[in-house]
Structure 1
Amino acid sequence: MAIVFAQENDLRVEDYAEVLRNCAMRHKRPVDNLDRLEEMLRGANFIVTAREDGEILGFARCLTDHAWVCFCSDFAVKESAQRRGVGRGILETCWRLLGPRIGFTLLSERDTVGFYEAAGMTRWEAGFYRTREDKS
């Protein structure tokens, strides 16, 4: 069956957690704290998913002002679905839905930089972050 890419701002926390538990970010997100994950989902205003036969394969969880920029705070694809065009399809769906006026930015793990560059994104080396103290 075909992979379906769509905006899904009402993504269920169970689907969100399933992808996180089955990707490289599983150690960097509170995957067993559904209340915290629910807060994270509700704070987003632009979510794009990939599904196959209804099964969640991946997502981009973002914040946007719909006027200038979109920040992707989580981008994840299940390890079992990688190398099938899922990640690129999610990115391209985000960009198509946002349109050409909206910039798209994210932070990448070092080992995924090549994926984003191959997808046509430009590396930006002037980014900063402050580590959170509460990781639960």
Structure 2
Amino acid sequence: MITYRTDYRPGLEEARDLYHASTLGERRPIDDDARFAAMLAHANLIVTAWDDERLVGISRCVTDFVWTTYLADLAVRASHQRAGIGKELIRRSQSAAPQAKVLLLAAPAAERYYPHIGFQHFPQAWMLRENETVS
């Protein structure tokens, strides 16, 4: 049985193991301890999923709780995918800030997943790439 928690922030090694097992680690700086630790520390909404004592999923968000929730990371162990865990993590993140809209940047492999659960694509979003500055 999967349980969900909002009262626990995973440690660096625990989170790193999950990110590796979900393939999200391929697109996050999980081997840069300082940067990865800061990512976890500065998220102000984290929902975790557990299979007994094993961390199997995480929703890592930055939110103001009334206007916008940025879903920075959604990771579910490959062994636990397609069981509704990701959807439930998003639902619980959304219910923590019910007035806020949920925004995310989808990994290429997950682009088809999000419309399936109700997300809409908004092409007017813009992103300043890493290591670039406003000119």
Q: Same fold (TM over 0.5)?
A: yes
d(CA) in 2 for partners of 1:5, 1:72:
17
1:34 aligned to 2:33? yes
Q: For 1:90 and 1:68, locate their aligned partners in 2 and report how far apart those are by CA, in whole Å.
A: 19
Q: 2:130 aligns with which of 125, 129, 132?
A: 132
1:64 corresponds to which residue?
Answer: 63
Residues 60-103 of structure 1 deviation map (CA, whole Å, 9 limit, x = unaligned): 1111111211001111111111111111111111122222x111
Structure 1: which 4+ aligned runs deviate by more than 4 Å? Answer: none
**Structure 2 residue aligned with 1:108:** 106
Aligned residue pair count: 132
Using the aligned pairs only, state the percent identity.
25
How many Å separate the matches in 2 of 1:35 and 1:110?
A: 26
Return the structure number with greater relative CO, CA threshold 8 A, min gap 6: 1
1:79 aligns with 78
Q: Conserved in 2, the CA contact under 8 Å of 1:61 and 1:73? A: yes
RMSD of aligned alpha carbons:
1.7
* Deviation for aligned residue 1:33: 2.1
Determine if the alignment matches structure 1 residue 10 to structure 2 residue 34: no
Q: Distance in 1 between matches of 2:7 and 2:103?
A: 19
Give the TM-score taking structure 2 as reference length: 0.88
Q: Distance in 1 between matches of 2:7 and 2:34?
A: 19
Contact kept, 8 Å, 2:12 with 2:33, in 1: the verdict is yes
Q: Which amino acid aligns with 1:67?
A: V
Q: What corresponds to 2:119 in structure 1?
A: 121
User: What's the CA shift for 1:9?
Assistant: 5.3
TM-score (norm 1): 0.87
